[in-house]
Chain A
Amino acid sequence: MGTLGSMRRKAVATAAAVGALSLVVGCGGDGDSVTGGSKDGDKVTITMGLFGVMGIKETGLLEEYEKNNPGVTIKAEIAGDEQTYYTALQTKLAAGKGLKDIQGIEIGRAKEITETRADMFADFAKVEGTDHFLPWKQSQITTKDGKVLGLGTDIGPMAVCYRKDYFEKAGLPTDREEVGKLWAGDWKKYVEVGRTFKKDFKGGDVSYTDSASGLFNAMVYGYPEQYYNEQGDLIYDKNPAVKEAWQLASDAAEEDLTAKLRQFQPGWDPGLSNGTFATAVCPAWMLSHISEKAGEVNKGKWDVARAPKGANWGGSFLGVIEDSPVKEEAQKLVAWLTAPEQQARIFKDLGNIPSSQKALEDPSVKAVKNDYFSGAPLGEIFGAAAQEIPDKQVLGRKDGTIKDTFSQGLALVEQGTPRDEAWKTTSERIQKAVG
Chain B
Amino acid sequence: MTTQSLPARTDAPARTEPEKPARGGRRLLRERAGRTHHAGPLAYILLVIMAVLSIFPLYWTMVAASTDNTRVSQTPPPFLPGPNLFSNLARAWDEAAMGKAMINSTIVAGVIALSTVFFATLAGFAFAKLRFKGRNVLLMLVIGTMMVPPQLGVVPLFMMMSELGWSQQLPAVIFPTLVSAVGVFFMRQYLSEALPDELVEAGRVDGAHSLRIFWSIVLPVARPAMAVIFMITFVHAWNDFFWPFVVLDMTNPTVPVALTQLSAGYVRDQSLIMAGALLGTLPLLAMFIVFGRQIVSGIMAGAVKG
Q: Does B105 contact A (CB under 8 A)?
A: no
Given A7-B216, A77-B249, answer yes or no on A97-B69 (Cβ-Cβ < 8 Å). no
User: Does more than half of chain B's interface fall in helix, strand or loop, or is it mixed?
Assistant: helix
Q: Which of B232-274 contact A (CB under 8 A)?
A: 242, 245-247, 249-251, 260-268
Is there an interface contact between B261 and A80, defined as CB atoms closer than 8 Å? yes
CA distance A275 to B304 in the complex (A): 67
Is there an interface contact between B168 and A98, defined as CB atoms closer than 8 Å? yes
Chain A residues with Cβ below 8 Å from B264 are 51-53, 57, 78-80
Q: Does B189 contact A (CB under 8 A)?
A: no
Q: Does A205 contact B (CB under 8 A)?
A: no
Q: Does B57 contact A (CB under 8 A)?
A: no
CA distance A20 to B112 in the complex (A): 11
CA distance A30 to B163 in the complex (A): 10
Name, among A36, A79, A296, A350, the residue most crowded by chain B CB atoms within 10 Å (CB to CB): A79
CA distance A87 to B247 in the complex (A): 11
Chain B residues with Cβ below 8 Å from A6 are 303, 306
Chain B residues with Cβ below 8 Å from A31 are 161-168
Chain A residues with Cβ below 8 Å from B174 are 21, 24
Against A, the Cβ 8 Å flags (1 = close, 0 = not) of B215-232 are 111011000000000000
Is there an interface contact between B167 and A1, defined as CB atoms closer than 8 Å? no
CA distance A29 to B242 in the complex (A): 22
Chain B residues with Cβ below 8 Å from A95 are 158-159, 162
Given A2-B306, A17-B115, A52-B265, answer yes or no on A25-B162 (Cβ-Cβ < 8 Å). no
Total contacts A to B, CB within 8 angstroms? 145
Chain B residues with Cβ below 8 Å from A27 are 169-170
B165 touches which of A2, A20, A28, A293 (Cβ 8 Å): A28
Task: Please choose the segment from B30-38, B70-78, B128-136, B288-296 that sits at the chain A interface, where 4 or more of its residues have CB less than 8 A away.
Answer: B70-78
From residue B223, how far is it (CB to closest CB) to chain A in Å?
A: 12
From residue B4, how far is it (CB to closest CB) to chain A in Å?
A: 26
Is there an interface contact between B170 and A24, defined as CB atoms closer than 8 Å? yes
With CB as the reference atom, state the residue of chain B lying closest to A18: B115
With CB as the reference atom, state the residue of chain A lying closest to B174: A24
Q: Does B203 contact A (CB under 8 A)?
A: yes
CB within 8 Å of A: which residues of B?
Answer: 69-70, 73-75, 107, 110-111, 114-115, 118, 154-155, 158-159, 161-171, 174, 203, 206, 208, 212, 215-217, 219-220, 242, 245-247, 249-251, 260-268, 303-304, 306
User: Given known contacts A6-B306, A350-B266, what 8 new A-B pairs fall within 8 Å (CB)?
Assistant: A2-B303, A53-B266, A55-B265, A77-B249, A80-B263, A95-B162, A98-B167, A292-B73
Give 21 CB contacts A-B under 8 Å. Answer: A1-B203, A1-B215, A2-B215, A2-B220, A20-B107, A20-B110, A24-B170, A24-B174, A28-B164, A28-B165, A79-B245, A80-B261, A81-B263, A91-B158, A91-B246, A94-B155, A95-B162, A96-B162, A97-B162, A98-B158, A293-B267
